[in-house]
Structure 1
Amino acid sequence: MTTESTPPVSARVRQVAEALGPATLATALLIYFGYVATRARYEYFGVPVDLTGRSNQDMMLDGLEVVFVPAAMLFLGLLAIVAIHSTVLWLLARDRPDERDGTSDVTAFAAYGFVLVGVLLIARALIGIFVQGPEASVIIGATPFSLAFGPAAVAYGVWIAGQRRGRPLLSQRLARNGAMGVIALLVAGLVWASTQLAWAYGTGRGEEDAAGLEDRPEVVVETREPLDDLPRGVTASRLGTAGEEARAYRHRYRGFRLLLASGGRLFLVTPEWRRGRDATIVLPYEDVRVRLVP
């Protein structure tokens, strides 16, 4: 009689962790980028994202819109890195120590070039961090990309020089610690750049929303109590008392456009809404009656 052997608990936990790890990381990134984009989008209208009551599922769906451009840039960057590395390997194979003529040392030029470019990028990253600051109006991605690829370029130049000499320039321990630092800065820079891109994407969506408010359905709002400080473009009328329902909702307002309905609230604007001039009206569902006009 044979019995089926089952893997130990630690092995099963490791298998589950390996299966859930990439999916969990991808979900977390989608929620994070969706949060950043949504925050920028509705902050354009002066609405804090925490007030909208958007769920994690909504944030994840919003994040799907954001990740296409960073993903395309990432894969194109990987293709470029593979092409550059293949070229360097070809040059190293051609530039053997016993075949050098001293006139055309392309690999030495490549090593010095990568180190020089890396140092310049590191200087640009330091200027962006300590001189310009995070609130400076600079090109999106300039500082984080410099932080990501500057140390990597220096490390790659040092590696080329070591391969050209036939032995590493650094000890194994220093090389390992340096590689860990370079990878950490690369990941930090890419996440930072993606965050800036997500914020710019959300701001762009807010500008598109503001430009297309005229094409959205009109929201007719009826309330029990009158609304104060009506925005321009909204007309108010008082309903009669002929019916019980009319007595409950005595005030009608026309001219609103629906910006967002979430968290039990209506976020209303007008077709003439302008950033810095007009406000966004927030009304709870339970205190109003709503009609939509195509």
Structure 2
Amino acid sequence: MAANTTLFTALLYFFGLLYTQVYFAYFRVHYTLLDQSVPEILMRGVNGLLLPLGGVGFACLVVLGVLRVLRAWLSERSWTRVLRVCAPVAAVVGVVLVGSAAFIALDPAPYRDLAGLPGLGLAVGALLLVFAGRRWGWGGGVRLGPWFGVAEWLVTYLLVAFGLFWAAGDYSNGVGVREGARMEASLSSRPTVTVYSARSLNLRAAGVRELVCGEADTAYRYRYTGLKLLLQSGGQYVFVQENWRRSTGTAFVIPRSDALRLEFTPPRTTPPQTC
């Protein structure tokens, strides 16, 4: 339980970290500027892997249910015959999956559209090869000692873990780009933010407007409109233009401080002409 829980937590963190890098790279912001906390990264890992983990869990439950039903309905002789047929099938499928994963690992670029599948293939293929080997009997009946069983499961666990990390890494890239594109498409429907600042922020980008308030005693003399808030994390605000596009858009990383005040209004709200 401890090993599996540790592996599961590491997978969530690994996926969340890579997803964070790819997502903010989509907006050309380096993720280290935001000082993302461990809970934030784990939350992104849970959010991104929720459906894949649910699908894998359901598939495993179906397989285990079918095995339980077959074991209950079939006689001992029929069950042994089924296992005898399954062993070579598992060996062939395992060799194909592991061989395909090794081939893709040599040059993964042409297979970017298969995000996550090579790693899962390696994990499943390793398990199938171990199943086939145990059915046939490793060593041809020669007693290899308890150390062999420990080494066998240790190597199998490492291969499965490697395959899962590989799958999570590939899948995180696809999810990060997809979520970045989704955010870009939905910017117009997000609340409009007006930034008030005690000092000039020199925000220069298409669609971003600076207005200097005339009152000398006002606490926030500079007003900036035409912005959308992307994130606040690690004491930093990340703003983008209302009309942000990946090819030409600009993102602004501004430290959070008492010199700033944010005002949120409904989407497409026209700001007043004066402060």
TM-score range, shorter chain: 0.7 to 0.9
2:123 counterpart of 1:152: no
Q: CA deviation at 1:289?
A: 3.6
- Structure 1 gaps of 5+ residues are 1-17, 98-104
For residues 209-254 of structure 1, the C-alpha deviation after alignment (integer angstroms, 9 at most, x for no partner) is: 11111122212223422515x22222233332x33226x62x3221
Aligned-pair identity in percent equals: 26
Q: How does 1:1-294 map to 2 (within 5 A)?
A: 28-83=10-65, 85-86=67-68, 87=70, 93-95=76-78, 107-132=83-108, 137-162=112-137, 168=141, 171-172=144-145, 174-223=148-197, 224-225=199-200, 227=202, 230-240=204-214, 242-245=215-218, 249=221, 251-286=222-257, 287-294=259-266
Bigger Rg, which one: 1
For residues 275-294 of structure 1, the C-alpha deviation after alignment (integer angstroms, 9 at most, x for no partner) is: 13212112223354432223
Cα-Cα RMSD? 3.4
Amino acid at match of 1:284: P
SS of equivalent residue, structure 2 residue 47: helix
C-alpha spacing 1:107/1:34, structure 2 compared with 1 (3 Å): closer
Cα distance in 2 between the residues matched to 1:96 and 1:263: 59
For residues 68-109 of structure 1, the C-alpha deviation after alignment (integer angstroms, 9 at most, x for no partner) is: 223313322432442565548987932599xxxxxxx65544
Cα distance in 2 between the residues matched to 1:186 and 1:76: 18
Q: Is the Cα–Cα contact under 8 Å of residues 265 and 282 in structure 1 kept in the other structure?
A: yes
SS of equivalent residue, structure 2 residue 264: strand
TM-score, normalization: structure 1? 0.74
Q: CA deviation at 1:148?
A: 0.8
Aligned residues between the structures: 261
Cα distance in 2 between the residues matched to 1:109 and 1:88: 15
TM-score, normalization: structure 2? 0.78
Q: Is the Cα–Cα contact under 8 Å of residues 235 and 256 in structure 2 kept in the other structure?
A: yes
Cα distance in 2 between the residues matched to 1:80 and 1:168: 33
Q: Is the Cα–Cα contact under 8 Å of residues 266 and 283 in structure 1 kept in the other structure?
A: yes
C-alpha spacing 1:58/1:214, structure 2 compared with 1 (3 Å): same
C-alpha spacing 1:71/1:272, structure 2 compared with 1 (3 Å): same
SS of equivalent residue, structure 1 residue 137: helix
Cα distance in 2 between the residues matched to 1:179 and 1:92: 30
